[in-house]
Structure 1
Amino acid sequence: MLTRDRWGLNERAFAWYYPRLMAVSERSGGAELRSRVIGRAAGRTLELGAGNGYNLPHYTAAVTELVVTEPSPAMLAQLERTVRATPPAVGSWRAMAADAERLPFPDASFDTVTSGYVQCSVGDPARMVDEIARVLRPGGRYLFIEHVRADEGSLLGRVQDVIEPVHVYVAAGCHPNRRTEELLRSSSLEVEWLEHARLPMAPVSVRPLLLGSARKGLDGR
């Protein structure tokens, strides 16, 4: 499936329009949804696919160190400007390029991992979850808010399936029909909290959301 053109034009276009498109949702209730998830982060925290930094205002002083990562050069440039202009209220922070499916960090090196609208765009979501489990310390938590496929049998779910090829290209890799709940429940992480919600004032293809947390076992598995 084509996710970007050879010149990366769709990725650069996405980096330009995504923050503007999401700003409407953020003002209409999306920021409150982020806060409910990201506000739970504590200890040494890793954010995956931070984009332009919409999660940053929701971290608290409970986070001793924050590492924010983003694989897209176009998005990373925006992220670095955002984090310098408005530093998060954490002990310390740094921004860097990193791929969620190949994290450049040692095993068991973070207390919390977060993601906001990332599972929809990675090439191999299962590998991303495996990497999250690897870098989490025993008892550590993965906090997430993600676009997901609508309910089985729903008209919207069928529409998401039909438009997926075009959606993936236009939105620089975003699959609107990912079954993230099934993936998490079948992973090595223990799901603690799951909630289905709707992203307000967003394109209909990405309105169904899944937010929650999953925990790595104290035995390290």
Structure 2
Amino acid sequence: MSTTNIYSFSQPIIVEKPSSSSLSETIRNLISNAFAPFQQEYRRWPWSQIGTIVIVCIGSYTVYKYLPGPYRRYYMLSTKNFSSQYNKALHVEKETLFNELKNVKAREEGRTKIQVVEIGAAHGANMAYYPPNIIELICVEPIREFEVYLTQTLGRNPHVKCRELLVGGAENLSVIRDNQVDAVVSTLTLSSCKNVHQVLREIRRILKPGGIFLYMENIRSPNPFLAFIQYLCSPMYKFLFGISLIRNIPEYIERAHFSGGTTQRIFVARGIPFLLSPHVSGIARK
């Protein structure tokens, strides 16, 4: 007859009894279940970097709002330093673009030089790229303090004759008559002006029939991921440098309906901050 082995346990078996959950636990569970998909999908996002960007944006806005003098000096200095880096990185592209001015002919009898308006001239970062001795330049710049830097740059580029400096935004060029100038130039200005549509209307108005608009601008990236990063950082760039990262400049140009057609090239600029690297350069003809 076989015997049955019996084992004893040192601890008693505990049987859990169902307990009624409290109201707070029920609410906590409902909230947790509601946010579970969000936590699962976005938990790997760089929340620390996003938080840093938010803090920098708030700090930049505070300086911009309550310390306008220091902010303006910082803006002018940072713009000058960045332009030097920008010219080195895009030297070939800018040289190619500005060479188009050699093909523009003065359309008035007795005039040997073409009239060119540069909007957003700042401290004169484009002066070295103008063809020699064929340009009569009108500079437009909303910040009067840039005049000191612009004068210094013109002194280093005697081949460019600046007829006058107009202090004001490119949205209002009323001091320039209709159909008056042969060419308009813009680099990194459409991405920083207040109203792109109005600026383009003014450019089209002041250009003579057959005149050209040359532009080189940073744009919103066609890559969705990079475009999203640009959206996050655009407020910071706007406050610190006055530049928007998310404007679709090619579309703005197409909607301006330049009657002579538009030639555009979208490319990635190397050697500058990657958020500014999506670029467009082009020629619009009236």
Shorter-chain TM-score range = 0.7 to 0.9
Using structure 2 for the length normalisation, give the TM-score: 0.68
- Choose 66-75 or 139-148, whichever is displaced more: 66-75
* Number of residue-to-residue matches in the alignment: 211
CA RMSD of superposed structures (Å): 2.1
> Could you tell me how far apart the structure 2 residues matched to 1:4 and 1:94 are?
33
1:148 paired to 2:219: yes
Residue equivalent to 1:175: 244
> Could you tell me how far apart the structure 1 residues matched to 2:77 and 2:139 are?
20
Any gaps of 5 or more consecutive residues in structure 1?
Answer: 217-221
Amino acid at match of 1:147: N
The answer to whether the 8 Å contact 2:212/2:285 transfers is: yes
* Percentage of identical aligned residues: 22
Structure with bigger helix share is 2
The answer to whether the 8 Å contact 1:129/1:187 transfers is: yes
Residue equivalent to 1:14: 75
Residue equivalent to 1:54: 125
Question: Which of 188, 196, 201 is 2:271 aligned to?
Answer: 201
1:111-190 paired onto structure 2 within 5 Å: 111-151=182-222, 153-171=223-241, 173-190=242-259
Question: Which of 65, 83, 103 is 1:5 aligned to?
Answer: 65
CA shift, 1:24, in A, is 2.6
SS in 1 for 2:169: coil
Residue equivalent to 2:162: 93
Distance 1:200 1:130, change over 3 A: same
> Could you tell me how far apart the structure 2 residues matched to 1:154 and 1:136 are?
36
Amino acid at match of 1:35: E
CA shift, 1:174, in A, is 0.9
1:24 paired to 2:81: no
The answer to whether the 8 Å contact 1:10/1:169 transfers is: no
SS in 1 for 2:145: helix
> Could you tell me how far apart the structure 2 residues matched to 1:166 and 1:203 are?
14
Distance 1:137 1:204, change over 3 A: same
CA shift, 1:60, in A, is 1.0
Any gaps of 5 or more consecutive residues in structure 2?
Answer: 1-56, 105-113
SS in 2 for 1:39: helix
The answer to whether the 8 Å contact 2:122/2:150 transfers is: yes
Structure with bigger strand share is 1
Distance 1:55 1:5, change over 3 A: same
Amino acid at match of 2:207: L
Amino acid at match of 2:229: V
Higher-RCO chain (CA-CA 8 Å, sequence separation at least 6): 1
- Larger Rg over CA atoms: 2
Question: Which of 155, 158, 165 is 1:84 aligned to?
Answer: 155
Distance 1:94 1:204, change over 3 A: same
> Could you tell me how far apart the structure 2 residues matched to 1:204 and 1:161 are?
13
CA shift, 1:62, in A, is 6.9
> Could you tell me how far apart the structure 1 residues matched to 2:80 and 2:135 are?
27
> Could you tell me how far apart the structure 1 residues matched to 2:164 and 2:274 are?
31
Task: Report Cα offsets for 1:9-31 as digits up to 9, x if no partner.
Answer: 33321210222233233223x12
The answer to whether the 8 Å contact 1:25/1:200 transfers is: no
> Could you tell me how far apart the structure 1 residues matched to 2:237 and 2:74 are?
14
- Choose 100-109 or 73-82, whichever is displaced more: 73-82
